[in-house]
Amino acid sequence: MSANLIWEAAETLPVEKMRELQLTRLKECVKRAMNVEFYRETFAERGITPDSIRSLEDIRQLPFTVKDDLRRNYPFGMLAVPKSELIRIHASSGTTGKPTFCGYTRSDLDTWANLCARFLVAGGLRREHIAQVSFGYGLFTGGFGLHYGIEKVGTAVIPVSSGNTARQVLMLRDAEADALICTPSYALNLAEALAEAGLKPGSLNLKMAFLGGEAWTESMRHAIEEALGINVYNNYGLSEVLGPGVSGECIYHSGMHIQEDHFFVECIDPDTGEELPDGEQGELVITALTREAMPIIRYRTRDLATLDRSLCPCGRTTMRMGRVYGRTDDMMIVRGVNVFPSQIEEALLKAGGTAPHYLIELTRPKSTDRAVVKIEIRPEDFSDRMTEMQALKQRIDREINAMTGLRFEIELLPPNTLERSLGKAKRVNDLRNLKD
Ligand SMILES: [Zn+2]
């Protein structure tokens, strides 16, 4: 069994061939977008026709698409095909009420399954394995997206879905899954539940996990790898452009390979919209080159990451993206300083001695922000001795200050006091009234 199997030849296309393919597909994508009134109108305002695209650089003439455009065209205004051609409809959750519908044709679903198969195989999933999907099966694209990707590989899938942690533990043990699919925060919850059930790392058949669906840190990866005794791979995607499968890691953990034959990815300064040089942190902008049902052009993901075009030892020639550092919309502004939950997480893991369960609470009692981090202590570190707890608090305070330049109040909680999430973890509770 080769450790580095490549699922499709497209992953190793020479870079010039890839650019040619992207240009051909971008032209087709713009043509398809003309079936969407929103794009027809915005193109007309800028004098853009499908013939305007003569090189890949010409993509910069095209307007950005933002979440609000999708909301304004609710429910099906962004479709480029008649509804009768849809095979499936997912929806992404909206923070302000209405979801965004995402339609898929048969060809979209085929593409999607293949793209998920690519990153699963890149991380080592094979036919002879069993994979447990602990993502919710529903409107969220994680469950179904990975499910069909796993089947495409030829691997047996156990569609456990999310929730019922006791049953998840039982399935992991008795069905002997080799691979686990869920969010990073849920993988940690499962690790905790396995430890409570007396199952040590390495005592299960589990070998790998493919995690995604929320921003997480490298330290968290190490924590999960250690707690479960497995290899952990990161993958990325969002339903507005397809779902999971936009990019994923290979065994070298050197960033996530972007499936460039299906997505054209730019990295921009979120404030100016200008393109940033490779390696600089910026907002990812994604054009779904082949999506039939909903061609999406230059979608502002609000996800912050870096791009890397250097060669990867695995032989894939595709550009890679770093892990998503945060979203422009989970950025907190605390006393005028930009802070991401991932920075607090990194600081906590550096300080050590706490469980990876925390909640940031923001209030504004007078006119100054009060920022509190509530953190659980690991059962083994829980100490009645005040001096030890005090020393831990000081260590956390130092790390948070080094990471953010801010002082947070530190509140240490006994083990298992914060609410556990079954999907994406809630990390910030902003109780400030910021409208005044
Ligand atoms: Zn690679």
Model pLDDT for residues 80-131, shown as the tens digit of each residue = 999 999 999 999 875 556 788 999 999 999 999 999 999 999 999 999 999 9
What is the mean predicted confidence (pLDDT) over 370-380? 89
Share of the chain above pLDDT 70, in %: 97
Predicted confidence at residue 378, as pLDDT, reads 82
Return d(Cα 213, Cα 141) in angstroms, integer.
Answer: 9
124 CA distance to ligand 1 middle (Å): 12
250 CA distance to ligand 1 middle (Å): 5
263 CA distance to ligand 1 middle (Å): 17
The residue that leads in pLDDT, 400 or 326, is 400
254 CA distance to ligand 1 middle (Å): 6
313 CA distance to ligand 1 middle (Å): 6
3-state SS class at 173? helix
Model pLDDT for residues 39-70, shown as the tens digit of each residue = 999 999 999 999 999 999 999 999 999 988 99
Would you tell me the crossing angle of helices 15-33 and 37-45 to the nearest 10 degrees? 100
CB 338 within 8 A of CB 271: no
237 CA distance to ligand 1 middle (Å): 17
Three-point CA angle 360, 329, 327, nearest 5°: 90
CA distances to 89, 250, 395 from 256, rounded to whole Å, are: 27, 7, 33
Predicted confidence at residue 346, as pLDDT, reads 86
219 CA distance to ligand 1 middle (Å): 20
Predicted confidence at residue 336, as pLDDT, reads 82
What is the mean predicted confidence (pLDDT) over 227-252? 96
Is pLDDT of 2 > 70?
A: no
Model pLDDT for residues 149-198, shown as the tens digit of each residue = 999 999 999 999 998 999 999 999 999 999 999 999 899 989 999 999 99
Predicted confidence at residue 272, as pLDDT, reads 93
Predicted confidence at residue 435, as pLDDT, reads 52
* Residue the block writes with tokens 């920075």: 343
Q: What domains appear along the chain, each with residue ranges and CATH number?
A: 1-329 (3.40.50.12780), 332-430 (3.30.300.30)
10 CA distance to ligand 1 middle (Å): 14
259 CA distance to ligand 1 middle (Å): 12
The residue that leads in pLDDT, 378 or 8, is 8
List the one residue out of 62, 57, 5, 1 whose CA is nearest residue 29.
62
247 CA distance to ligand 1 middle (Å): 11
Is pLDDT of 436 > 80?
A: no
